[in-house]
A and B are shown apart, each in its own frame.
Chain A
Amino acid sequence: MASVALFDPCYMAALNPGDAANARLLLEALGDSVTLLDGRCCGQPAFNSGYTDEARKVGRELLRGAQPHRTIVIPSGSCGSMVQHYLPGLFEGERRIGAQSIANRFVPFASYVLHHPNLDRLGLKLEGVVGYHDACHGRRELGITADIVALLAHVEGLEVRRLAFEEECCGFGGTFSVKLPEVSVQMMTAKLDDVVATGAKVLVSGDYSCLAHLDAGARGVGLRLETWTLTELLARALS
């Protein structure tokens, strides 16, 4: 029985409170013992806005919390990218090396589950069709598109429809979506058009941040579309 920490990113705790429970359910079904790592943030919102001191202060708390754990499962591509690629760079010298060694122990949720020796025990099964939104940070910074797609392929009865222009950003970009709403909405509209074209009424992604944005837009324009995280989909496929 492996012992893992499950990071519950701050924005998910606020906006999608059930997600950590779903992730825990899956990890426990794989036979792992799970410690929740919550009440922390990777620092990305401030970092992407140019406030590095504030990002460092906040990110340091996450690394401190993660320090005792050998593996920290992270269910959000964009937080994962921040932790692995940018957070260590906010520290100097020895501290940076230490930060990087902790950051390297963070594993994206999809990759962790896909490569788990007990994966086949889950017996994932769910009838239906989903569209797949490939989040940019997962795709380009972490390179986990193939892992997510492979994991979805493990769900018996599920048809996954890829988007025609899946390499295009949905227009979220954190504070970008608030600072430049006109541009963000244009990008979101293009993405929703692409989603609608798939015919799927459920959109799945490894990154809840994009989904929250697309969901807010889909509800606003009255689209019949639900956005599910990968963890929610897999948890529903468990039973």
Chain B
Amino acid sequence: MSFEEQTTFKERSAKEIREERPAATITPIMRKLMADSGAMLARGPGDAKARASAARDYAIGHLEELHREIEASFARQGIGYHLAATPADAQRIILGLLGDAKRVAKSKTMVGEEVELTRALRAAGIDVLETDIGEYIVDIEGRGPSHITAPALHLNRARIREMLARDAARNPSANLPDDDPVRLSRYVRDVVGAFFKDCDAGITGTNVAVASSGRLAIVENEGNVSLGVSHPRLHIAITGYEKVIADEAAALAVLEVLAPSATAQPLTSFTHFLAGPMPGQQRHVVFVDNGRRRIARDERYREVLKCIRCGACMNSCPVYRAAGGLSYGSPYMGPIGAVLSPLLWPDGRYADLPGASTLCGRCTEVCPVGIPLHRMLLDLRADGVDSGKLGSRKEKATWMAWAVAFSGATRARAVTALGRIGLRGAGRIVRPHGDRDDPRMLPEPGIAHDPGQLTSATDRRQVETFIPVDEIASDDVVELFRARATALGVRVVESLELREDDRVLKATAAIASTGSVLLTLEQAARRPLLSAARVVVTVDPATIVRFPSDIAPHLGDGDALILTGASRTADIEKRLVRGIHGAEEMIVVLPGAASE
């Protein structure tokens, strides 16, 4: 970030568009993702967004209270509570907790990006490995993530292969004969897997911190978080001060919309509910304020703290698609980045980001927790002008003159007439920006239209519109569970001949709408789960509930893990690769179910 403070969104986006044309990669991916995401949310429950929004609303209205509660709950669970006022404090606290640790496995955390954690730890001589596949790739590239849930979205597979080949020194046996996403993903998996066998601590983010129970809810697909949180000695989680939430019902309300909005998944492959540390292990949570308590007191912007970092606003944003995430020059990009960045860093370095929007309102429409993003962008523009961080004296003078012209009807009529005369004719020839990359002519007033155009239409060209086919939803939860789990690539059988190296587990409950199984206490142990060749989970049909929000009574108050299909990644061109850290094959034994 340091050297990019000097550049503007306009400069960065113009360069990105000229050199990379982000839209060519991003637009088709996002069009499909938005269609799939809509279909996933439509599966219900119908009030999911309203409940998620209410849960976050309550949280940001009771931050101090919930933090007092979670501190007590953490003490009960044996989890360390830490509050960092500034990014520097966060770095210092984490360095203190790490002690003499030399090798640290880090998974994806946006707050980690915000406080520049990796840079700080490396400056202190610590060997930090980014273990999320996308983060691993952008770490080599060195320009930072371009999307909050898909960090390497801006890179195509050919570029990723080039980068990984450069990096192959870390893994001399690397075999990268082509740019197949499966092979590329597995190359990173192997490097990460080897690092996890010999490191001193795991650092992760946290999606939700539950005040009532003191548990941390973390979502992931690859299994690197599973490895990080089960580091035998030390797990540190870093998260925003606002990520605390009242109870499990509220946490589930958030999770119910998070994965559908983020990646069009019903739930991510792994949904952790982490309780106290394992014997011999330490667990600490570092909450970062960095201006959040200040934002919480500002009526106009406090709702931005409801954000659950799903990325739907950027997925749907046409400006993000055109400019790409790196144009924002901030760890937070897209509409949420354009709102959050100038609030977190009020020194003016991001004052121009609220201008990176046409105010089309799509972000507000898709936000699953109801943040009025485009209205905040408007308020931030006004704040920028009022505080002098935005707009030149010339621009101010222009608007003042404009206001004089348009505050009297006679003057206004004269000005519009002059504009019309000026443009008439000129519109035929003048390109307003004098730039051959900008094909637009000036508007041409009173252009004559030819009604013959109406009858000269040609046939409609078929365009791929990504209408996902939703399978028929069953009222019977057992049937629905079977169908949805099967759709995730899970084999559902009535009985099974076990193999010696199977990891056989008993589910506490299961979720029909998402095809998920819930494992609790020792059944949720991550390391044996991830090292198994095949995972076999027995589900009692009587324990199947319909929606994620219905599973609260089964969660208990200890360690819990919801599995939704096998470990996976889609970090390379959003192409799905199954079996990252953990078995590729998952089998559910469901007595009484019709086999496959």
Asked whether B416 lies within 8 Å of A13 as measured between CB atoms, the reply is yes
The interface centre, meaning the residue of A50, A137, A194 with most chain B CB atoms within 10 A of its CB, is A50
Does B216 sit within 8 A of A, measured CB to CB?
Answer: no
Distance in angstroms between the alpha carbons of A180 and B16 in the assembled complex: 13
CB distance from B334 to the nearest CB of A (A): 13
Q: Mark A196-228, 1 if CB is under 8 A from B, else 0.
A: 111111100000000011011101110010101
Does A31 sit within 8 A of B, measured CB to CB?
Answer: no
Asked whether A61 lies within 8 Å of B446 as measured between CB atoms, the reply is no
Distance in angstroms between the alpha carbons of A15 and B13 in the assembled complex: 29
* Chain B residue nearest to A46 in the complex (CB): B399
Does B279 sit within 8 A of A, measured CB to CB?
Answer: no
Asked whether A129 lies within 8 Å of B457 as measured between CB atoms, the reply is yes
Distance in angstroms between the alpha carbons of A215 and B449 in the assembled complex: 12
The 10 closest A-B pairs by CB, nearest first: A128-B454, A173-B358, A39-B409, A50-B381, A220-B439, A129-B457, A169-B360, A186-B322, A50-B385, A54-B403
Chain A residues within 8 Å of B, Cβ to Cβ: 10-11, 13-18, 38-41, 45-55, 57-58, 60-61, 65, 86, 126-130, 136-137, 140-141, 159, 161, 164-165, 167-169, 171-174, 176, 178-188, 190, 194, 196-202, 212-213, 215-217, 219-221, 224, 226, 228, 232, 236
* Chain B residue nearest to A55 in the complex (CB): B403
Distance in angstroms between the alpha carbons of A45 and B416 in the assembled complex: 14
Asked whether B455 lies within 8 Å of A128 as measured between CB atoms, the reply is yes
Does B440 sit within 8 A of A, measured CB to CB?
Answer: yes
Does B357 sit within 8 A of A, measured CB to CB?
Answer: yes
Asked whether A219 lies within 8 Å of B441 as measured between CB atoms, the reply is yes
The interface centre, meaning the residue of B9, B365, B432, B439 with most chain A CB atoms within 10 A of its CB, is B439
Summed over the interface, the residue pairs from A and B with CB atoms below 8 Å come to a total of: 236
Asked whether B420 lies within 8 Å of A15 as measured between CB atoms, the reply is yes
Distance in angstroms between the alpha carbons of A185 and B17 in the assembled complex: 10
* Chain B residue nearest to A58 in the complex (CB): B406
The one of B356, B391, B460 in contact with A183, judged by C-beta atoms closer than 8 angstroms, is B356
7 additional contacts, CB 8 Å, given A51-B391, A130-B454?
A15-B423, A15-B445, A54-B402, A171-B322, A179-B355, A180-B355, A190-B23
Task: Enumerate B362-421 residues with CB–CB distance to A below 8 Å.
Answer: 362, 364-365, 378, 381-386, 390-391, 395-396, 399-400, 402-403, 406-413, 416-417, 419-420
Q: Mark B456-469, 1 if CB is under 8 A from A, else 0.
A: 11111101010000
Does B471 sit within 8 A of A, measured CB to CB?
Answer: no
CB distance from B189 to the nearest CB of A (A): 35
Task: Enumerate B432-455 residues with CB–CB distance to A below 8 Å.
Answer: 432-433, 435, 437-447, 449-451, 453-455
On chain B, the residues within 8 Å of A164 by CB distance are 463, 465
The interface centre, meaning the residue of B322, B460, B465 with most chain A CB atoms within 10 A of its CB, is B322
| Given contact pairs A58-B403, A181-B433, A226-B449, A39 touches B410 in the complex (Cβ within 8 A) | yes
Distance in angstroms between the alpha carbons of A184 and B403 in the assembled complex: 26
Asked whether A179 lies within 8 Å of B10 as measured between CB atoms, the reply is yes
On chain B, the residues within 8 Å of A165 by CB distance are 31, 465
Does B302 sit within 8 A of A, measured CB to CB?
Answer: no
Asked whether B358 lies within 8 Å of A178 as measured between CB atoms, the reply is no
Asked whether A186 lies within 8 Å of B23 as measured between CB atoms, the reply is yes
Does B297 sit within 8 A of A, measured CB to CB?
Answer: no
Does B319 sit within 8 A of A, measured CB to CB?
Answer: yes
Does B318 sit within 8 A of A, measured CB to CB?
Answer: yes
Asked whether B437 lies within 8 Å of A47 as measured between CB atoms, the reply is no
The interface centre, meaning the residue of B358, B381, B423 with most chain A CB atoms within 10 A of its CB, is B358
The one of A38, A52, A185 in contact with B437, judged by C-beta atoms closer than 8 angstroms, is A185
* Chain B residue nearest to A39 in the complex (CB): B409
Does B101 sit within 8 A of A, measured CB to CB?
Answer: no
The 15 sampled A-B contact pairs (Cβ below 8 Å) are A14-B416, A14-B423, A41-B406, A50-B384, A58-B407, A129-B455, A137-B361, A140-B361, A140-B362, A180-B9, A182-B10, A185-B437, A198-B457, A216-B441, A220-B439
User: Interface SS of chain B: helix, strand, loop or mixed?
Assistant: helix
| Given contact pairs A183-B17, A199-B457, A15 touches B443 in the complex (Cβ within 8 A) | yes
* Chain A residue nearest to B395 in the complex (CB): A49
The interface centre, meaning the residue of A15, A137, A219 with most chain B CB atoms within 10 A of its CB, is A15
* Chain B residue nearest to A194 in the complex (CB): B463
Distance in angstroms between the alpha carbons of A216 and B447 in the assembled complex: 11
Interface residues on chain B, number (Cβ under 8 Å): 83
Asked whether B443 lies within 8 Å of A215 as measured between CB atoms, the reply is yes
| Given contact pairs A15-B420, A168-B318, A201 touches B399 in the complex (Cβ within 8 A) | no
Distance in angstroms between the alpha carbons of A45 and B407 in the assembled complex: 14
Does B431 sit within 8 A of A, measured CB to CB?
Answer: yes
Asked whether B460 lies within 8 Å of A48 as measured between CB atoms, the reply is no
Distance in angstroms between the alpha carbons of A221 and B433 in the assembled complex: 15
On chain A, the residues within 8 Å of B455 by CB distance are 127-129
Asked whether A47 lies within 8 Å of B412 as measured between CB atoms, the reply is no
Does B359 sit within 8 A of A, measured CB to CB?
Answer: yes
On chain B, the residues within 8 Å of A236 by CB distance are 451
Asked whether A213 lies within 8 Å of B416 as measured between CB atoms, the reply is no
* Chain B residue nearest to A178 in the complex (CB): B432
Asked whether B362 lies within 8 Å of A169 as measured between CB atoms, the reply is yes
Asked whether B461 lies within 8 Å of A199 as measured between CB atoms, the reply is yes
Does B27 sit within 8 A of A, measured CB to CB?
Answer: yes
Distance in angstroms between the alpha carbons of A48 and B365 in the assembled complex: 19
| Given contact pairs A17-B445, A38-B409, A48-B378, A198 touches B359 in the complex (Cβ within 8 A) | no
On chain A, the residues within 8 Å of B460 by CB distance are 161, 197-199
Asked whether B362 lies within 8 Å of A10 as measured between CB atoms, the reply is no
On chain B, the residues within 8 Å of A167 by CB distance are 362
* Chain A residue nearest to B431 in the complex (CB): A220
Asked whether B420 lies within 8 Å of A219 as measured between CB atoms, the reply is no
Asked whether A172 lies within 8 Å of B416 as measured between CB atoms, the reply is no
On chain B, the residues within 8 Å of A182 by CB distance are 10, 13-14, 17-18, 437-438
On chain A, the residues within 8 Å of B383 by CB distance are 50
Asked whether B318 lies within 8 Å of A171 as measured between CB atoms, the reply is yes
CB distance from A218 to the nearest CB of B (A): 9
Asked whether B402 lies within 8 Å of A10 as measured between CB atoms, the reply is no
CB distance from A209 to the nearest CB of B (A): 10
Does B323 sit within 8 A of A, measured CB to CB?
Answer: yes
Asked whether A190 lies within 8 Å of B318 as measured between CB atoms, the reply is yes
Distance in angstroms between the alpha carbons of A219 and B410 in the assembled complex: 33
| Given contact pairs A45-B402, A171-B318, A221 touches B439 in the complex (Cβ within 8 A) | yes
CB distance from A15 to the nearest CB of B (A): 5
Asked whether A40 lies within 8 Å of B406 as measured between CB atoms, the reply is yes
On chain A, the residues within 8 Å of B432 by CB distance are 178
The interface centre, meaning the residue of B408, B410, B453 with most chain A CB atoms within 10 A of its CB, is B453
On chain B, the residues within 8 Å of A51 by CB distance are 382, 385, 391, 396, 399, 403
On chain B, the residues within 8 Å of A169 by CB distance are 318, 358, 360, 362
Asked whether A173 lies within 8 Å of B360 as measured between CB atoms, the reply is yes
The one of B362, B391, B447 in contact with A136, judged by C-beta atoms closer than 8 angstroms, is B362
The one of A39, A50, A184, A215 in contact with B412, judged by C-beta atoms closer than 8 angstroms, is A39
Distance in angstroms between the alpha carbons of A201 and B453 in the assembled complex: 6
On chain A, the residues within 8 Å of B412 by CB distance are 10, 39-41
On chain A, the residues within 8 Å of B442 by CB distance are 216
On chain B, the residues within 8 Å of A172 by CB distance are 358
